[in-house]
Structures are given as C-alpha cells and as structure tokens.
Amino acid sequence: MIERITSLEEIPQWKRRELCSAIRTFSRVCGLTPCVIIADPGTIRTLGAKAPWLLAEYTKASWANVMSRLRCALEIGGVKVHRQRRNFKLNAEWELLVVPLSRRDRDEIHRFAGWCSIREIGPHHVSPEIFDRYYAYLDQQMTQRNPRERGHVARRAWNRAVVTLGSPYPPIPAPEPIGKRCVRWEDFPQSLRDEVRAYSTRMLKPGLFDEEHRPIKPVTLENYLTRLRVIVSRQNIWRNSRRKLAECGPRLGVDVTRRACGAASADVRWSVA
C-alpha cells in the first residue's frame, strides 16, 4: 500500500508523506509491520480496537487523525471503505421521508437512507433483506468499532420514526444474533411445550388459593422464556429436570455449570429465587 501511494504523482507529495506516515504509525502501535497487515476494513477494525494507542502516548484526537488518514489511504489505494463522515446525498423520495423527522431520528437514519439512495432503493422497498445487505456492507467496509450496532441504530430509528400507525412501511425485526441461534419452540418435544404453556398460564394469573403468588407482567414472562429457550437449545436439559415448570415460582432461574473449556455441562439445576 505504501509503495502504491508513493507512486501516485497526481497526489501532492506532502499528502503522500502524511498517508504513508499514518500507515507506519498504525502498524507500529499494533506491534506489526505494514507488510503483514492486510488492507481490509475488517482487519483494520480488529487491530484498531486492540491497539494500545494510550500506551504509545497518543491522545484520543491524535489517534483519531491517524485512523482518518489510514482510511483515506485505503480508499486511495482502491479499497472500498465506509468513511465515518461520508455525506450520502438522498434522492427525492428519501428526502421527502426524512426531512419531517426529529433531529435525532433524522441523524440516525440518514446514513442508511443515503446508502439506499445510491443503490436506487426506495423507502417502499425496505425489508429485512435490505437491512441484511446493509449489515453486510457495514461489516465489510467499516473500520470503526461495532459496525453491526450502527446498523441497529438505523433499524431502531426506522421502526420508531417511520413505521407509524397507518404507515405503509413494514417494521424491521431484529436479526438473529450471530453465533447464538436458538431452536424454535415448535421444534422442541410436545411435553416441554405443554409445560411451558402451563407455566405461562399460571404466572400471568393471580393465585386463587395461594396468597403469596403474584402474577408477573407479560414482558417479564417473555424474558424468562427467552432465557429458557437459549439454555435448552444447547442440550436436552428438559430430560434432566425432575421438576415441572408449572411448579416453579415467579423467578425462574437456570444454574448451568460450565466446564473449563466453556461448554455447558449436563449438570443443570432449576432454581427458584
């Protein structure tokens, strides 16, 4: 990359020196040499997140300058990079949709709207598949931290500000977490689903003959069941539990003993807090 930038005579010499210096500085702080670092946004993002720039006596502002020049060097070198302050121009359809929004919503959705504009994707064509493409774009071309969270910011702004009552635009659900896929409830044995249904019914209704039993909110129950589904997706723990879910109290907890390697063991105990 340094050789390529040095050979570009159409760029002023001071600019070439500045960009090459940023590449060498980034490599030195990361404890590597420029020749072993792949010119890839994902690689730069990973190394930059771990770079001990404070120990190298750089201030936050000076390190931000190094990263900005590094992104500029990548772009000049032919690598597709999502620039942090790139100002995408919105087409007329997106402009009409975004302008009436509040300042916060407009700022959070503007980058996604601009990304759609340059790809000729109108607001009426936005779907979960479009957001999946946007997530992939951020992951592949963004050098800043947490590219997926930046996509979530746009998705939440879309659902909050654009998908209003009577709006023709569809809500975008949160994507499945990477590496944390759960088994669907309908894929579990019928016996477990019956127990979950009985437990849910009991926890949402007040006890007629049990004064200590208090119903819980539906959102609380949903959180309990989500945590339960994550755990039981890992192994058949419903076969190891002798206690039925409907007999559990309002706070359903799962104590999972893990081995040193991090995998959940078969020793699973239901506990009631």
| pLDDT values of the chain reduced to their tens digit, one per residue, 273 residues | 788 888 888 888 898 899 899 999 999 999 988 888 877 777 788 888 888 989 888 999 999 899 888 888 888 877 777 655 555 678 899 999 999 999 999 989 988 998 899 889 999 999 999 999 998 888 877 777 788 888 899 999 999 999 987 888 999 998 866 655 677 888 888 888 898 888 888 888 876 666 677 888 888 888 888 888 888 877 555 444 544 444 444 444 444 333 333 333 333 333 333
pTM of the model: 0.50
- Residue 254's pLDDT is 40
> How many other CB atoms are found less than 10 A from the CB of residue 207?
11
- Residue 189's pLDDT is 85
In b/e form, how buried is each residue of 102-132, taking b as 16+ CB within 10 angstroms? Answer: eeebbebbbbbbbbbbeeebebeebeeebbe
- Residue 3's pLDDT is 82
Give CA separation, 264 vs 233, 243, 256, 267, 268, in Å: 11, 20, 7, 8, 9
- Residue 160's pLDDT is 92
Judged on CB neighbours under 10 Å (0-12, 13-18, 19+), 179 is exposed
Both tokens of 225, joined, read: 């069941």
Torsion of CA 113, 118, 124, 127, to 10 degrees: -80
